[in-house]
Amino acid sequence: MAKWPLPDPMRRALALAQEAVVAGEVPVGAVVVKDGIVLGEGYNLTRTDHDPTAHAEIVAIRRAATALGDDRLTGCDLYVTLEPCGMCAGAIAHARIARLYYGAGDPKGGAVEHGACVFEQAQCLHRPEVYSGIGEGEAGKLLRGFFSERR
Amino acid sequence: MAKWPLPDPMRRALALAQEAVVAGEVPVGAVVVKDGIVLGEGYNLTRTDHDPTAHAEIVAIRRAATALGDDRLTGCDLYVTLEPCGMCAGAIAHARIARLYYGAGDPKGGAVEHGACVFEQAQCLHRPEVYSGIGEGEAGKLLRGFFSERR
């Protein structure tokens, strides 16, 4: 029985999460795509860059916005290996991301299906379509491996 | 009768908000201070920098973290002219800001006393002390002037 193949951008996000492990960063990767073309990608860089805002999603969004020369990523999709936190969900709304695809859910820090449920707030000015659980097995394995080594 | 003087960092944040008007940006300014020394400051740069994450708070936090060479701004205070949104409140928690002082409340976009009330979520791993209404008159006047000219 063939396994359903992951979409290319999620496979790339998982590869980026693996690079984060090598860099000693929490293994989360993210890719911004428009019409099949990667506009920005990245992994968690909070320690490397001394930047508490440098989660994978923020890194990928900032790079894509620079590439487009626009602070709005209209029509763009974001693939990320972990459920975004509140900061990143806010950035996704500000950036006008059209579709959000994420891997593992994050009961401790996620703010899409957990906690603040950012996109369900009446205040939220832009709600992306959201698809979860894409590559969650692989994403969760990377995260568990990373944190078990540090305990 | 003498008016209660605003703390220096909030006066600086208001001056930065005024600079934002000149730059055609939404007038919000922010300053990160530790032991009376300014470590980072900025105003909204979303259009100028093509960066949807470049709210005043994020700009000031990133600059302060670069200055300190640390992604945690332990013991630092953040002064901002407007109630932080969900993205910025999340960044404030990630950065471990000790005390947050803000001017005007923001029922439409704020996430401290409105909407997601980020610091009241069970998930929130770090809660700053919060002081609101400091310079709210001046901050609100700048924002109303900016938006009324654009209608």
Q: Angle at which helices B8-22 and B136-149 pack, to 10 degrees? A: 10
Contact A86 B89 (CB under 8 A): yes
> In the predicted model, what is the mean pLDDT of residues A63-84?
98
Is residue B128 a contact partner of residue B119, using CB atoms and an 8 Å limit?
Answer: yes
Contacts with A87 (C-beta within 8 Å, 6 or more apart), sequence order: A53, A55, A58, B86, B87, B88, B89, B90, B91, B93, B94
Question: What CA–CA distances, in Å, run from A110 to A81, A84, A100?
Answer: 12, 5, 14
Give B52's contacts in chain A (Cβ within 8 Å): 61, 65, 71-73, 91, 94-96
Whether the model clears a pTM of 0.90, i.e. scores above it, the answer is yes
pLDDT at A2 over 80: no
Phi/psi of residue B126, nearest 5 degrees = -145, 125
How confident is residue B61, by pLDDT bands cut at 50, 70 and 90? Answer: very high
Which pLDDT band, with edges at 50, 70 and 90, does A49 fall under?
Answer: very high
Q: Which residue of A has its CA nearest to B124?
A: A109
Residue ranges of A for the binding site for Zn(2+)? 55, 85, 88
Q: What does the pLDDT read at residue A10?
A: 97
Give mean pLDDT, residues B57-72: 98
Q: How far apart are CA B54 and CA B83, in angstroms?
A: 15
Interior angle at CA B120, CA B114 and CA B123, nearest 5: 125
- pLDDT-derived band at B1 (thresholds 50, 70, 90) equals low
Mean pLDDT, range A125-138, rounded to an integer: 94
Task: Closest CB to B123: pick one of A72, A114, A121.
Answer: A114
The pLDDT, as a whole number, for residue A74 is 97
The single-letter DSSP state of residue B71 is: S
Banded pLDDT at B149 (limits 50, 70, 90): confident
Six-digit token string for B4: 């209660």
Q: What is the pLDDT of residue B2?
A: 67
Amino acid at B65: A
pLDDT at residue B151, rounded to an integer: 67
A130 touches chain B (CB under 8 A): no
- Residue B3's pLDDT band, with cuts at 50, 70 and 90, is low
Could you tell me whether strands B77-82 and B29-34 are parallel, antiparallel, or unpaired per DSSP bridges?
antiparallel
What does residue B131 show for φ and ψ, rounded to 5 degrees?
-125, 120
User: Which domains, and CATH codes, for chain A?
Assistant: 8-134 (3.40.140.10)
Q: What is the model's pLDDT at position B11?
A: 96
Q: Considering only CA atoms, which of B94, B88, B97, B93 is closest in space to residue B120?
A: B93
* A132 in reach of chain B (CB within 8 A): no
Q: Is the pLDDT of residue B13 over 80?
A: yes
Whether the pLDDT of residue B73 is over 70: the answer is yes
Distance CA B9, CA B33 (A): 7
3-class secondary-structure state, position A30: strand
pLDDT tops 90 at residue B127: yes
pLDDT confidence of residue A56? 98
Sequence-distant (6+) residues with CB within 8 A of B50 are A65, A66, A68, A69, A70, A71
Averaged over B44-61, what is the pLDDT?
98
Mean pLDDT of A8-29: 96
**pLDDT at residue B4 greater than cutoff 90:** no
Confirm if B83 and B132 have CB atoms less than 8 A apart.
yes
pLDDT at B150: 78
Q: What angle do CA B15, B47, B150 make, to 5 degrees?
A: 75
CB–CB of B122 and A115 under 8 A? yes
Q: Is B147 exposed, middle or buried (CB count within 10 Å of its CB: 0-12, 13-18, 19+)?
A: exposed
CA distance B48 to A103: 33
Q: Which CA distances in Å does A77 have to A28, A131, B107?
A: 17, 11, 29
